[in-house]
């Protein structure tokens, strides 16, 4: 079947949100940890982390306007430090619960039972239950004129993960890590390897 | 173990590329179809499609500078039309082969055996073997000063997919579609459902 632009315009808003959020494919499943100037921590599930480059090692994250992750965005812009923590099979329910609209003065760590972990002297909290954790420095952000979405660019300052996950070529085995992916607004999925292919040549 | 910024700086370039590309999580697996003014088609595997909003329905795609998908980027900026086609379990090897550096005058459709499909009067080619296909209109692009990456924003003009994949709530069943996800530069994965959770409330 074909769904056209005018079909989309006439759709129920929640139905359209679920349709469009799911139809672009699986996304990475991460928790972003942050802290404000007063020491209040925050934790938000995000499916919008995207790779921007390896040298320097840059990742982008999309924040929707007025979304529940607005406290996280405020913290990143204020403190310029945040963490990206992989969601694994054991914490999908708690990770999803961070998407509830908690008041700013309540930490999603306390609300969901996930554990804050502070590593070395990095100011933002990691998620103890995550197997793969990244320390991030804010570098820049751009607001998209089309819909007010904020695209935040950060640099990886440190990676924390079990060494046995890293292959001889540098590829990290996310299946062994138990990392999951997300589709749509509420679906969590467990990937299994189909194949890794050699560098393609004509 | 911890890998620091100075460790990353001192790493072999290919090792670092595989490490950083894999450590941010699974990504969506899509083929972007495009065509130039002379009618030459182009097809490129991308793992950087990200959701930007449902109303209007906007998706972003990251293009690395000097990457093999530069012909695709040129076509999008010239013709303002492109297609996003889900990679499924049956075409992962052919999809990966589109990442080879073919000359501009050779279509990756011909080179890989994937089939061009033209739907309605949309000028850009879809991938016939894909189950879920999106017709896209270019809306804007921004070049990131930090590393020359180009972020392309497009609007979904039409969705083409089997109606039985769409649930009562609008969520598209990607497991039934056979859609896959990507990790790193060369890994293709088949996800299975862990759970869908209700809208989270405090």
Overall size of chain A counted in residues: 202
- In DSSP notation, chain A reads -EEEHHHHHTS-HHHHHHHHHHHT--EE-EEEEEE-TTS-EEEEEES-EEEEEETTEEEEEEE-TT-TTHHHHHHHHHH-EEEEEE-BTTSHHHHHHTTS---TTS-HHHHH-PPEE--TT-SSPEETT-SSEEEEEEEEEEE-TTT--EEEEEEEEEEE--GGGB-TTS-B-HHHHTB-EEETTTEEEEEEEEEE-PPP--
Domains in chain B: ranges and CATH = 27-189 (2.30.110.10)
The pair of structure tokens assigned to B68 is: 């093999």
pLDDT, tens digit (0-9, with 9 covering 90-100), for A110-124: 999 999 999 999 999
pLDDT in tens, chain A (202 residues): 999 999 999 999 999 999 999 999 999 999 999 999 999 999 999 999 999 999 999 999 999 877 777 899 999 999 999 999 999 999 999 999 999 999 888 999 999 999 999 999 999 999 999 999 999 999 999 999 889 999 999 999 999 999 999 999 999 999 999 999 999 999 999 999 999 999 999 9
| Most B-contacting residue of A20, A71, A149 (CB-CB within 10 A), to test interface | A20
| A106/B23 touch (CB, cutoff 8 Å), yes or no | no
Question: Which contiguous run of DSSP H or E holds residue B85?
Answer: strand B81-86
The pair of structure tokens assigned to A113 is: 């039972």
ipTM of this complex prediction, to 2 decimal places: 0.96
Residues from chain A that touch B165, judged by Cβ atoms under 8 A, are: none
CA distance A38 to chain B (A): 22
Q: What percent of chain B has pLDDT over 90?
A: 94
CA distance A66 to chain B (A): 12
pLDDT at position B36 is 96
CA gap A192, A194 in Å, rounded: 7
pLDDT at position A105 is 87
- On the question of pLDDT at B180 being above 90, the answer is yes
pLDDT, tens digit (0-9, with 9 covering 90-100), for B66-116: 777 789 999 999 999 999 999 999 999 999 999 999 988 899 999 999 999
| A158/B3 touch (CB, cutoff 8 Å), yes or no | yes
| B195/A20 touch (CB, cutoff 8 Å), yes or no | no
- On the question of pLDDT at B194 being above 80, the answer is yes
How many CA atoms, within 13 angstroms, populate the side-chain half-sphere of residue A92? Answer: 22
Question: Which contiguous run of DSSP H or E holds residue B176?
Answer: helix B174-177
CA gap A55, B17 in Å, rounded: 8
């Amino acid at each position: 079947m074909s769904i056209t632009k005018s079909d989309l315009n006439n759709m129920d808003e929640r139905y359209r949100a679920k349709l469009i959020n799911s139809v672009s494919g699986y996304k990475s499943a991460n928790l972003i940890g942050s802290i404000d100037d007063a020491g209040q921590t925050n934790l938000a599930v995000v499916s919008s982390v995207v790779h921007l480059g390896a040298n320097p090692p840059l990742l982008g994250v999309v924040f929707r306007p007025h979304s529940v992750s607005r406290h996280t965005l405020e913290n990143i812009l204020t403190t310029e430090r945040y963490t990206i923590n992989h969601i694994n099979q054991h914490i999908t329910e708690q990770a999803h619960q961070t998407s509830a609209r908690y008041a700013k003065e309540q930490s999603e760590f306390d609300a969901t039972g996930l554990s804050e972990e502070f590593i070395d002297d990095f100011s933002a909290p990691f998620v103890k239950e995550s197997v793969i954790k990244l320390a991030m420095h804010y570098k820049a952000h751009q607001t998209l004129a089309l819909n007010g979405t904020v695209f935040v660019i950060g640099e990886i300052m440190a990676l924390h993960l079990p060494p046995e996950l890293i292959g001889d070529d540098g590829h990290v085995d996310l299946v062994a890590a138990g990392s999951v992916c997300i589709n749509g607004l509420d679906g969590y999925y467990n990937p299994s390897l189909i194949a890794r292919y050699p560098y393609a040549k004509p």
